[in-house]
Amino acid sequence: MARRTGKHTILLDTMPVVLSWAAVGGKLEGEGPLGGQFDEINEDSYYGEKTWEKAESAMQKQALTLALKKAGLKGEDLQFIFAGDLLNQSLSATFAHRDWGVPFVGLYGACSTMSESLALAALFVEAGYARLCAAATSSHFCTAERQFRFPLEYGGQRTPSAQWTATASGAAVLGAQGRGPRVKAVTLGAIVDMGTTDANNMGAAMAPSAADTLKKFLEDTGTTTADYDMIVTGDLGQVGSALLGELLAKDGISLESRHNDCGLLLYDREKQTQVESGGSGCGCSASVLCSYLLPALQNKEVKDILFMATGALMSTTSSQQGESIPGVCHLVHLTGGA
């Protein structure tokens, strides 16, 4: 059974298994460094649908469909689906999973939603509440721009600190038994707000929460960054990643070469210059997890990964009212399975 260690971390004694996973992306994601590792790339931003919102929903449903197929499972085999996205009322996830007939737990953690859904699915399996759970997340550049910034027709200029919302989705199926990477520990993060108000600088808003969660995890477990092969945040981009290193260095914590960020892994910033500081969006960390990180564990290329998706907990309303941008980061310790 799960047990707490320290003030913030939960150790999962049975270590639930990530049985299968799938990543779906759009044209820009297919042109990036990980494009060849996606399960499906669709160059049509509408994904065959009439609107971008419907396209995002279709992408998330397809990601879970592919993940289930890999595991030889059907939707009705699941006991719970934990899923979310960036849009109001989590409508992409809601409509993606409305036909499964499975208990649905809608989540909103902004770009941290994939680690949030993965953590909760693992905890439910660990506690014996379910044998099989799914975790899924998505984002779409066009839907996010329309909701949070400006209509694409506006043609607004992007700042160097801005990040590109990924048109992508990732889904994973977790079970109590089987073969695959395992979830060893979870640290659900607290909200950290350092007063950042620039909606075009998500990295600066989220980096303090990533530093806070990592410090708590290391303190709770009595480990150091050297004990892990990869420490992967998402999605701080170039600006936020640099800030994270500075914040941790003040506490004597060195990331060395172990740190990378999903927003930097998904795109090639030199060739894909439109992404500016890197990628963002729920689908960024979700697709990197399911196209790159989980396969690396499965293939024994690495043994231990700290997957730390970060989220900027803002809305158009809060920004228009002059509110600061709170950040949150949830950590999932993944280890290679037999």
Task: Name the domain boundary from 140, 175, 210.
Answer: 175
Shared domain check, 119 and 151: yes
Report pLDDT for 258.
96
Domain membership flag for residue 9: no
Domain membership flag for residue 6: no
What confidence tier does 337 reach under pLDDT thresholds 50, 70, 90? low
Shared domain check, 299 and 158: no
Question: 334 with 309: CB under 8 angstroms?
Answer: no
From residue 191, give the alpha-carbon distance in Å to each of 73, 109, 225: 36, 11, 22
Task: Name the domain boundary from 142, 175, 208.
Answer: 175
Full domain range(s) for residue 191? 182-335
Place of tokens 């290679």: 336
Domain membership flag for residue 42: yes
Q: Residue 159 carries which DSSP code?
A: P
Domain membership flag for residue 311: yes
Domain membership flag for residue 309: yes
Shared domain check, 220 and 154: no
Helix/strand/coil for 24? strand
Shared domain check, 246 and 303: yes
Report pLDDT for 273.
79
Q: Residue 85: which CATH number?
A: 3.40.47.40
Report pLDDT for 82.
98
Shared domain check, 22 and 168: yes
What is the tally of structural domains in the chain? 2
Structure tokens at 165: 């919302």
What confidence tier does 161 reach under pLDDT thresholds 50, 70, 90? very low
Alpha helical stretches, state H, the chain: 27-30, 52-70, 91-96, 113-126, 141-148, 202-221, 237-249, 262-265, 282-288, 294-298, 316-320
Residue 160 has a CB neighbour count (10 Å cut-off) of 10
Question: 168 with 283: CB under 8 angstroms?
Answer: yes
Residue 203 has a CB neighbour count (10 Å cut-off) of 30
Place of tokens 């006991």: 79
CA angle in degrees (0–180, nearest 5) for 6-330-118: 110
Residue 223 has a CB neighbour count (10 Å cut-off) of 15
In angstroms, rounded to a whole number, what is the distance separating the alpha carbons of residues 28 and 18? 27
Q: Residue 290 carries which DSSP code?
A: I
Report pLDDT for 196.
82
pLDDT tens digits for 51-95? Answer: 989 999 999 999 999 999 999 999 999 999 999 998 888 889 999
Q: What is the pTM of this model?
A: 0.94
What confidence tier does 320 reach under pLDDT thresholds 50, 70, 90? confident
Shared domain check, 328 and 215: yes
pLDDT tens digits for 268-302? Answer: 988 987 787 788 889 999 999 999 999 999 999 99
Shared domain check, 228 and 205: yes
pLDDT tens digits for 134-149? Answer: 999 999 887 766 666 5
